[in-house]
Amino acid sequence: MDLSKRKFKDDFKKMLTEVYSMDITESELTEQFFTLGNLIRSYSSKNWSRTNQHYSEKKEKQVYYFSMEFLLGRMLKSNLLNLGILDTVRSALQDLGIDLEELVQIEPDPGLGNGGLGRLAACFIDSMATSEIPAHGNGIRFKYGLFKQKFVNGYQVELPENWLQNGNVWETRKMHAAVTVRFYGKVWLQQTDKGFLTPHYEGAQEVLAVPYDSAVIGYKNNVVNTLRLWSAELPPQDDISDYWAYIHQRNQIESISEVLYPDDSTYEGRLLRLKQEYFFVSAGIQSIIRHFKKMHLHMNHLAEKVAIHINDTHPALCVPELMRILLDEEHMDWEHAWNVTVNVMSYTNHTIMSEALEKWPIDMISSLLPRIYQVICEIDRRYTMKMGTLFEPAIIDRTQIIEGGHVKMAHLAIIGSHSINGVAQLHTTILKEKVLHDFFLVYPSKFNNKTNGITQRRWLMLANEPLRDLINRKIGNEWETMPTELKMLKAFRDDNETLLELARIKHLNKERFADYVQETMGLAINPDAIFDVQIKRLHAYKRQLMNLLHILSLYFKLKDNPAADIQPRVFIFGAKAAPSYTYAKQIIKLINTVAELINNDSSIENKLKIVFVENYGVSLAEKIIPAADVSEQISLASKEASGTSNMKLMLNGAITLATLDGANVEIKEHVGSENIVIFGLREEEVYQYYHDGSYHSRSYYENNPVLHRVLDALIDGTIPGVVAEGHSIFDSLVQYGDEYFVLRDFDAYVAAQERIDSLYRDMLKWQRMALINIAGAGIFSSDYTVQQYANQIWDVSSNAHLK
């Protein structure tokens, strides 16, 4: 948008007076932040309604991305950037004596997601608006985001994250669009006068689902899509006979949208979780149908106007919920309703970890959602009947929805969707060949791959302005919306001036992060050291532990020989563990304790430091990633579906140190094996071990002296204060089989780290690698990912022509 500094200053002062009756000198940061937020809203509101109007008038097919999580991060700068007014506003505020960076800090970072999956959804809505795809997010307005992590004596402690405390400037409550969601009760089918079977409910609990909409602003294109998050409320009641019963009921209902389930991948049978899933699914689909009906088209045409995406299994109830509405409320016959449903739905699988494949006990689902359960039974019955004639019984048994007293959500999503995708090539191959092989036999054409992506706007243009400026000076700014144009940077691979400039920027970012660490943790780190970064949820398969064992090996090397020639390193960790995941929490305690030991040992002359940042999330990622030299992507091959921090880090010039897992495989293809450091078991070797059962971790402990010493340190008192944790972790590796092959990959990892050490010594060579990584990162933009979803899955145009 066109906005002069003068106009902005006038608007800002006017808004401050109107809302707070203050002038600038009286106002504090909070008032200034809300004033700016409200101004941004007013600047985007016209385009928001124009966009919706355009979609309605043109009867555009619309996409609804159903996701339990949207890990947005702070929106202030992102909205300014996308409106094209970031620099103007920053400079105008400066004239008014206000520092934009200080205002940014006022905004809470809404943690409405656990990790990669939730952040992917956030990147997608940004990219969908930018790519002019008529697509909206649909999720839950959790009152409390993911817990706030504190370390107390090295242990993770969880505190509530009350992000809504001071209100959310971006949202609008849309009471007129509220819908009712039903739980419990009894249901039976009755014939109406017109001959339809309609369900009758008795004793159902009714919950009011109230939507809160936020604008999703496309990058400089006038498109504004919608993120709709639902909040659970008690429906208004005329007479409240029992006040306390009323309060109790209200609390119970409001608890549905109270907390984000704090688990990244492990499954626990929680009734509340199932309620949450049905709640936002039912609310979302009812609202879609309401909207569709305004077009006055027959329901048979729904799939021409609506695509619903099921992001992981959490919203899999979309399938029976749409069926319920088509059958019970629209009186379609089963065949037509099913045809429409399958054409509308598509599903992404985000993990092969079997404990994350959700399943619900029949008792729970049938009492909470009686009608939905009937529909699921009928879907299952028809599936087994139809496919039973075509495939052998064992395949049908393994692919049924209801099995062993449980409803399997992935099976429901697969049977009820026309498309099933994995999130990286390797992951999709593993789905087809292993994890979902039976389904691949049944529905080969449904399977496809869509490698994840990230938005270069947040992760480069905003997070790393010095690098953005350098790139723009070298190759112009076309890459902002056509990110593969970053490849033009390759022309500078032998240009020492550019490489030195890259080095200077990295150093600057490292200094900034070092200042932050000094301020917040009181720890001095050296920006000349290698900044070696592993930021992701704490999970055994991601092998933060292997990283730590390597650090210990370096530490002992220096203890034995203080003159040992190693490049100084700062190992940076950011990770939350699910509160109930004991083993992960033990690893956190161990890392913190080793950090304490190493950081305070003056005999190693600051050659090693460990920084474990508290409460890792989007805002911290934005500080760490631009300062990273090394990107640790060291999961056991086959376990990380894709990973996305790998993409953000390469885009910022970090060198990837990786196993051939998830999207690392594709990163290697794009940058070439000389610009990435690969090590460790490959996926087929891992499966071979599973097959022949020949991995015996103890022999690695017994035969590898370095490993022996490092592992002994866990249990012999070398690391003080971790007796219980040390033994538990030692046993998991040596005694109980080392599920994720940490000891098997250790030597290869150490060798790979030595290679990093030696590469880093040649500064120009290192920067050349960094440059090639930045130049090759464009393909991993979520702009391309969503365009592929649009063209190949949703069948919508990725160009709404709103300009």
767 in contact with ligand GL2 (CB under 6 A): no
Q: Give the integer Cα–Cα distance in Å for 630 and 633.
A: 9
Which stretches of 349-458 are assigned E, i.e. beta strand? 359-361, 402-403, 406-408, 419-422, 447-449
Q: Is 177 exposed, middle or buried (0-12, 13-18, 19+ CB in 10 A)?
A: middle
Distance between CA atoms of residues 193 and 93, nearest Å: 67
Sign of CA dihedral 114, 120, 122, 125: negative
Alpha-carbon span 798 to 803, nearest angstrom: 14
- DSSP-assigned beta bridge partners for residue 137: 65, 227
Instruction: Please identify which residue in 317, 344, 423, 775 interacts with ligand GL2, judged by CB under 6 A.
Output: 423
Please identify, among the stretches 156-164, 276-284, 634-642, 744-752, the one whose residues bind ligand GL2 according to the rule CB under 6 A.
634-642
C-alpha 14/C-alpha 6 separation (Å) is 12
With CB under 6 A as the contact rule, the residue among 131, 642, 652, 659 that binds ligand GL2 is 642
**Catalytic pick among 648, 670, 744, 768:** 648
634 close to 659: Cβ distance less than 8 angstroms: yes
Q: How far apart are CA 276 and CA 231, in angstroms?
A: 10
Beta carbon nearer to ligand GL2, 428 or 509: 428
Closest C-alpha to 638, from 660, 658, 666: 660
For position 646 contacting ligand GL2 by CB under 6 A, the verdict is no
Residues 6+ away with beta carbon under 8 Å from 646: 631, 633, 656, 658, 662, 663, 664, 667
Q: Residue 635 — left, alpha, or beta (φ > 0 → left; ψ -120 to 50 → alpha)?
A: beta
Q: In what order do the strands lie in the sheet with 630-633?
A: 608-613, 569-574, 530-535, 630-633, 655-658, 677-678
Contact predicate 451/425, CB 8 Å:
yes
Whose CB is nearest to ligand GL2? 116
User: Is 644 labeled as catalytic in the residue annotation?
Assistant: yes
Our answer to whether residue 537 is catalytic in this structure is: yes
CB of residue 211 to ligand GL2, shortest distance in Å: 25
Torsion of CA 432, 436, 437, 443, to 10 degrees: -80
Q: Is 265 in the site for ligand GL2 (CB under 6 A)?
A: yes
Element (H, E) at 470: helix 465-475
Out of 314, 542, 589, 744, the active site residue is: 542
Piece of 188-196, 504-512, 637-645, 723-731 that binds ligand GL2 (CB under 6 A): 637-645
Q: Which is nearer to ligand GL2, 116 or 262 (CB)?
A: 116
Q: How far is the CB of 349 from ligand GL2 (least distance, A)?
A: 9
- Say which of 384, 593, 644, 718 is annotated catalytic: 644
**Binding of ligand GL2 at residue 658 (CB under 6 A)?**
no
For 655, residues 6+ apart whose C-beta sits below 8 A from its C-beta are 629, 630, 631, 675, 676, 677, 756, 759, 766, 769, 770, 773
| Beta carbon nearer to ligand GL2, 168 or 452 | 452
Closer CB to ligand GL2, 266 or 792, in the complex: 266
d(CA 144, CA 765): 46
Beta bridge partner(s), residue 570: 531, 609
With respect to ligand GL2, which residue has the nearer C-beta, 5 or 576?
Answer: 576
Beta bridge partners of 307: 63
Which token pair is 233? 């409320």
Q: What angle (nearest 5°) sits at the alpha carbon of residue 470, between those of residues 466 and 475?
A: 145
Angle between helices 76-83 and 116-130 (to 10 degrees): 20
Binding residues for ligand GL2, rule CB under 6 A, total 18
Interface with ligand GL2, residue 154, by CB under 6 A:
no
**Per annotation, catalytic residue among 148, 309, 350, 450:** 350
In angstroms, give the least distance from the CB of 762 to ligand GL2: 32
CB of 309 to ligand GL2, least distance (A): 13
Nearer to ligand GL2, 324 or 542 (CB): 542
Does residue 41 have an active-site annotation? no
Is 617 or 662 the residue whose CB approaches ligand GL2 more closely?
Answer: 662
**Region from 152-160, 320-328, 600-608, 638-646 binding ligand GL2, contact rule CB under 6 A:** 638-646
Beta bridge partners, 230, equal 140, 211
Does 436 bind ligand GL2 (CB under 6 A)? Our answer is no
Residue from 264, 358, 725, 738 in contact with ligand GL2 (CB under 6 A): 264
Q: Catalytic: which of 275, 536, 576, 607? A: 536
CB of residue 418 to ligand GL2, shortest distance in Å:
20
253 binds ligand GL2 (CB under 6 A): no
Distance in Å, CB of 119 to ligand GL2, minimum = 8
Task: Draw the binding track, 373-412, toward ligand GL2 (x: CB under 6 A; -: no contact).
Answer: ----------------------------------------
CB of 538 to ligand GL2, least distance (A): 12
Q: Is 452 in the site for ligand GL2 (CB under 6 A)?
A: yes
Question: By CB under 6 A, what part of segment 349-368 binds ligand GL2?
Answer: 350-351, 356
Show the tokens assigned to 472.
Answer: 């723009």
The residue within the footprint of ligand GL2, chosen from 110, 134, 154, 643 (CB under 6 A), is 643
Q: Which of 641, 649, 719, 779 binds ligand GL2 (CB under 6 A)?
A: 641
- The only residue of 213, 640, 738, 745 in contact with ligand GL2, by rule CB under 6 A: 640
Q: Tell the smallest beta-carbon distance from residue 416 to ligand GL2 (Å).
A: 20
Alpha carbon distance 124, 135 (integer Å): 10
Residue window 110-139: x/- pattern of binding to ligand GL2, with contact defined by CB under 6 A? ----xxxx--x-------------------
Q: Using the rule CB under 6 A, which residue among 111, 284, 315, 662 binds ligand GL2? A: 662
Residue 121 Cβ vs ligand GL2, minimum distance, rounded to whole Å: 9
User: Based on CB atoms, which residue is closest to ligand GL2, 226 or 642?
Assistant: 642
Q: CB-based contacts of 64: which residues, under 8 Å, 6+ apart? A: 135, 136, 137, 138, 284, 288, 306, 307, 308, 309
What residue ranges bind ligand GL2 (CB under 6 A)? 114-117, 120, 264-265, 350-351, 356, 423, 452, 640-644, 662
Active site residues: 350, 536-537, 542, 644, 648
